[in-house]
Protein backbone atom coordinates (compact mmCIF):
# COMPACT_ATOMS: atom_id res chain seq x y z
CA UNK A 1 0.00 0.00 0.00
CA UNK A 2 1.43 3.35 -1.05
CA UNK A 3 0.28 5.16 2.11
CA UNK A 4 2.23 2.66 4.24
CA UNK A 5 5.51 2.41 2.36
CA UNK A 6 5.95 6.17 2.70
CA UNK A 7 5.64 6.00 6.53
CA UNK A 8 9.39 5.94 7.08
CA UNK A 9 8.92 7.18 10.64
CA UNK A 10 7.63 3.73 11.62
CA UNK A 11 10.76 1.97 10.40
CA UNK A 12 12.90 4.64 12.07
CA UNK A 13 11.01 4.03 15.33
CA UNK A 14 11.58 0.28 14.97
CA UNK A 15 15.31 0.83 14.47
CA UNK A 16 15.42 3.19 17.45
CA UNK A 17 13.72 0.62 19.69
CA UNK A 18 16.18 -2.06 18.61
CA UNK A 19 19.13 0.15 19.55
CA UNK A 20 17.79 2.08 22.58
CA UNK A 21 20.46 1.94 25.29
CA UNK A 22 19.30 1.45 28.86
CA UNK A 23 15.74 0.45 27.90
CA UNK A 24 14.69 -2.70 29.71
CA UNK A 25 12.18 -3.59 27.00
CA UNK A 26 14.66 -3.26 24.15
CA UNK A 27 15.12 -7.01 23.59
CA UNK A 28 11.41 -7.74 23.77
CA UNK A 29 10.54 -4.94 21.36
CA UNK A 30 13.19 -6.12 18.90
CA UNK A 31 11.85 -9.67 19.07
CA UNK A 32 8.26 -8.55 18.55
CA UNK A 33 9.31 -6.52 15.52
CA UNK A 34 10.98 -9.62 14.08
CA UNK A 35 7.78 -11.57 14.59
CA UNK A 36 5.62 -8.79 13.18
CA UNK A 37 7.68 -8.75 9.99
CA UNK A 38 7.59 -12.54 9.87
CA UNK A 39 3.80 -12.77 10.23
CA UNK A 40 3.15 -9.90 7.82
CA UNK A 41 5.16 -11.74 5.15
CA UNK A 42 4.04 -15.30 5.92
CA UNK A 43 0.33 -14.48 6.13
CA UNK A 44 0.38 -11.93 3.29
CA UNK A 45 -1.17 -9.17 5.40
CA UNK A 46 -0.04 -6.41 3.04
CA UNK A 47 0.66 -3.91 5.82
CA UNK A 48 3.67 -1.85 6.79
CA UNK A 49 5.82 -1.73 9.92
CA UNK A 50 3.65 -1.02 12.97
CA UNK A 51 4.37 1.75 15.46
CA UNK A 52 4.88 -0.68 18.32
CA UNK A 53 4.49 0.37 21.94
CA UNK A 54 4.75 -1.67 25.14
CA UNK A 55 2.70 -0.11 27.90
CA UNK A 56 0.24 -0.66 30.71
CA UNK A 57 -3.23 -1.20 29.29
CA UNK A 58 -6.55 -1.29 31.08
CA UNK A 59 -7.46 -4.41 33.01
CA UNK A 60 -7.94 -7.53 30.88
CA UNK A 61 -6.86 -5.70 27.72
CA UNK A 62 -3.94 -7.56 26.15
CA UNK A 63 -3.38 -5.39 23.09
CA UNK A 64 -4.76 -2.46 21.12
CA UNK A 65 -4.72 -1.17 17.56
CA UNK A 66 -5.27 2.56 17.04
CA UNK A 67 -7.09 3.57 13.86
CA UNK A 68 -5.83 6.76 12.27
CA UNK A 69 -2.85 8.71 13.60
CA UNK A 70 -1.87 8.83 17.24
CA UNK A 71 -0.72 11.85 19.22
CA UNK A 72 2.67 11.78 17.50
CA UNK A 73 1.10 11.61 14.05
CA UNK A 74 2.06 7.94 13.58
CA UNK A 75 -0.08 5.43 11.71
CA UNK A 76 -0.70 1.81 12.71
CA UNK A 77 0.05 2.08 16.40
CA UNK A 78 -0.05 -1.35 18.05
CA UNK A 79 0.17 -1.52 21.82
CA UNK A 80 0.96 -4.75 23.63
CA UNK A 81 0.30 -4.82 27.37
CA UNK A 82 3.42 -4.96 29.55
CA UNK A 83 1.64 -7.16 32.12
CA UNK A 84 0.69 -9.53 29.31
CA UNK A 85 4.30 -9.83 28.13
CA UNK A 86 5.46 -10.51 31.70
CA UNK A 87 2.75 -12.91 32.82
CA UNK A 88 1.72 -14.88 29.73
CA UNK A 89 3.50 -17.53 27.63
CA UNK A 90 5.33 -15.94 24.73
CA UNK A 91 3.21 -17.78 22.15
CA UNK A 92 0.12 -16.04 23.53
CA UNK A 93 1.86 -12.66 23.33
CA UNK A 94 2.51 -13.43 19.66
CA UNK A 95 -1.15 -14.33 19.28
CA UNK A 96 -2.05 -10.88 20.59
CA UNK A 97 0.41 -9.29 18.18
CA UNK A 98 -1.18 -11.15 15.26
CA UNK A 99 -4.66 -10.14 16.44
CA UNK A 100 -3.65 -6.47 16.32
CA UNK A 101 -1.87 -6.89 12.98
CA UNK A 102 -5.14 -8.23 11.59
CA UNK A 103 -6.79 -4.96 12.59
CA UNK A 104 -4.10 -3.19 10.56
CA UNK A 105 -4.72 -5.57 7.65
CA UNK A 106 -8.45 -4.83 7.73
CA UNK A 107 -7.92 -1.10 8.11
CA UNK A 108 -5.84 -0.97 4.93
CA UNK A 109 -7.31 -3.80 2.88
CA UNK A 110 -10.84 -4.51 4.07
CA UNK A 111 -13.88 -3.02 5.73
CA UNK A 112 -13.15 -2.26 9.40
CA UNK A 113 -16.00 -2.09 11.88
CA UNK A 114 -16.36 0.51 14.60
CA UNK A 115 -16.74 0.57 18.36
CA UNK A 116 -19.66 2.96 17.99
CA UNK A 117 -21.61 0.42 15.94
CA UNK A 118 -20.48 -2.43 18.21
CA UNK A 119 -19.03 -4.37 15.28
CA UNK A 120 -15.33 -3.61 15.77
CA UNK A 121 -14.55 -7.31 15.54
CA UNK A 122 -16.80 -7.90 12.57
CA UNK A 123 -17.25 -11.05 10.51
CA UNK A 124 -14.61 -10.13 7.95
CA UNK A 125 -11.96 -9.81 10.65
CA UNK A 126 -13.07 -12.94 12.46
CA UNK A 127 -13.09 -15.01 9.27
CA UNK A 128 -9.57 -13.86 8.35
CA UNK A 129 -8.38 -14.65 11.87
CA UNK A 130 -10.05 -18.07 11.86
CA UNK A 131 -8.22 -18.97 8.67
CA UNK A 132 -4.95 -18.46 10.56
CA UNK A 133 -6.02 -20.29 13.72
CA UNK A 134 -7.25 -17.44 15.93
CA UNK A 135 -10.84 -17.74 17.16
CA UNK A 136 -11.97 -14.19 17.88
CA UNK A 137 -15.47 -13.48 19.15
CA UNK A 138 -17.50 -10.30 18.64
CA UNK A 139 -16.03 -8.75 21.82
CA UNK A 140 -12.46 -9.39 20.71
CA UNK A 141 -11.70 -12.27 23.04
CA UNK A 142 -9.18 -14.60 21.41
CA UNK A 143 -8.89 -18.35 21.67
CA UNK A 144 -6.77 -20.69 19.57
CA UNK A 145 -7.86 -23.48 17.27
CA UNK A 146 -6.05 -26.78 17.87
CA UNK A 147 -4.11 -28.68 15.25
CA UNK A 148 -1.60 -27.52 12.65
CA UNK A 149 -3.03 -24.07 12.07
CA UNK A 150 -0.94 -21.52 10.15
CA UNK A 151 -0.28 -19.57 13.36
CA UNK A 152 0.81 -22.52 15.52
CA UNK A 153 2.75 -24.05 12.66
CA UNK A 154 4.73 -20.83 12.18
CA UNK A 155 5.55 -20.69 15.89
CA UNK A 156 6.82 -24.26 15.89
CA UNK A 157 8.85 -23.64 12.74
CA UNK A 158 10.85 -21.01 14.63
CA UNK A 159 11.13 -22.91 17.89
CA UNK A 160 8.40 -21.26 19.97
CA UNK A 161 6.69 -23.77 22.27
CA UNK A 162 2.93 -23.84 21.84
CA UNK A 163 0.15 -26.32 22.68
CA UNK A 164 -0.09 -29.29 20.35
CA UNK A 165 -3.76 -30.13 20.49
CA UNK A 166 -5.06 -32.31 17.64
CA UNK A 167 -8.58 -31.90 16.35
CA UNK A 168 -10.61 -34.94 17.41
CA UNK A 169 -13.71 -36.44 15.83
CA UNK A 170 -16.81 -34.26 16.03
CA UNK A 171 -20.10 -34.98 17.75
CA UNK A 172 -23.42 -34.52 15.97
CA UNK A 173 -25.07 -31.35 17.23
CA UNK A 174 -28.22 -29.46 16.27
CA UNK A 175 -27.93 -27.22 13.22
CA UNK A 176 -26.63 -23.73 13.93
CA UNK A 177 -24.50 -24.73 16.95
CA UNK A 178 -20.73 -24.96 17.06
CA UNK A 179 -19.28 -28.46 17.09
CA UNK A 180 -16.25 -27.30 19.09
CA UNK A 181 -16.31 -27.61 22.87
CA UNK A 182 -14.41 -25.08 25.01
CA UNK A 183 -11.74 -26.32 27.46
CA UNK A 184 -9.52 -24.21 29.71
CA UNK A 185 -6.38 -24.98 31.71
CA UNK A 186 -5.42 -23.39 35.10
CA UNK A 187 -3.09 -20.81 33.49
CA UNK A 188 -5.80 -19.57 31.16
CA UNK A 189 -5.00 -21.25 27.86
CA UNK A 190 -8.25 -21.99 26.01
CA UNK A 191 -8.85 -24.44 23.21
CA UNK A 192 -11.86 -25.80 21.38
CA UNK A 193 -12.05 -29.44 20.35
CA UNK A 194 -14.66 -31.50 18.60
CA UNK A 195 -15.53 -33.92 21.38
CA UNK A 196 -17.33 -33.78 24.73
CA UNK A 197 -14.61 -35.71 26.62
CA UNK A 198 -11.06 -34.42 26.23
CA UNK A 199 -8.13 -35.52 28.39
CA UNK A 200 -5.14 -33.26 27.85
CA UNK A 201 -2.42 -31.50 29.82
CA UNK A 202 -1.21 -27.94 29.18
CA UNK A 203 2.42 -27.74 28.06
CA UNK A 204 2.81 -24.33 29.72
CA UNK A 205 1.61 -24.93 33.29
CA UNK A 206 1.22 -28.70 33.46
CA UNK A 207 -2.43 -28.38 34.46
CA UNK A 208 -5.27 -30.47 33.10
CA UNK A 209 -7.78 -28.90 30.71
CA UNK A 210 -11.31 -28.62 32.11
CA UNK A 211 -14.50 -28.28 30.10
CA UNK A 212 -16.02 -24.77 30.17
CA UNK A 213 -18.68 -24.92 27.46
**Residue 195's pLDDT is what?**
63
| Closest-CA residue to 173 (of 141, 213, 123) | 213
Residue 39 contacts residue 154 (beta carbons within 8 Å):
yes
Residue 79 contacts residue 55 (beta carbons within 8 Å):
yes
3-state secondary structure (DSSP) of residue 41: helix
Residue 198 contacts residue 167 (beta carbons within 8 Å):
no
Largest Cα–Cα separation, the chain: 59
Rounded to whole angstroms, the Cα distance separating 73 from 30 reads: 22
What are the backbone dihedrals phi and psi of residue 98, each rounded to the nearest 5 degrees, phi first? -65, -40
Strand (E) positions, 76-213? 77-81, 134-136, 142-144, 181-184, 190-193, 210-211
**Residue 201's pLDDT is what?**
66
What's the pTM? 0.78
List per-block mean pLDDT (blocks of 10 residues) for the chain, which spans 213 residues.
64 97 97 98 96 93 95 96 96 98 96 85 97 95 92 96 62 50 77 70 69 75
Query: What residues contact 41, with CB distance under 8 A and at least 6 apart?
Result: none
**Residue 196's pLDDT is what?**
64
Q: Residue 46 to residues 29, 105, 110, 206: CA-CA distances in angstroms? A: 21, 7, 11, 38
**Residue 4's pLDDT is what?**
45
**Residue 182's pLDDT is what?**
80
Amino acid sequence: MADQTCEQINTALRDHQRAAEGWSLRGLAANLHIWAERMILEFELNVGTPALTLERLRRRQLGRYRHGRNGFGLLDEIAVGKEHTQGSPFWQVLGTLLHELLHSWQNHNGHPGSLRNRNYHNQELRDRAKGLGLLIDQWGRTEYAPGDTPFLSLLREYGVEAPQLPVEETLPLPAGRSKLVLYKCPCGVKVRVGRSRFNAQCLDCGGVFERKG
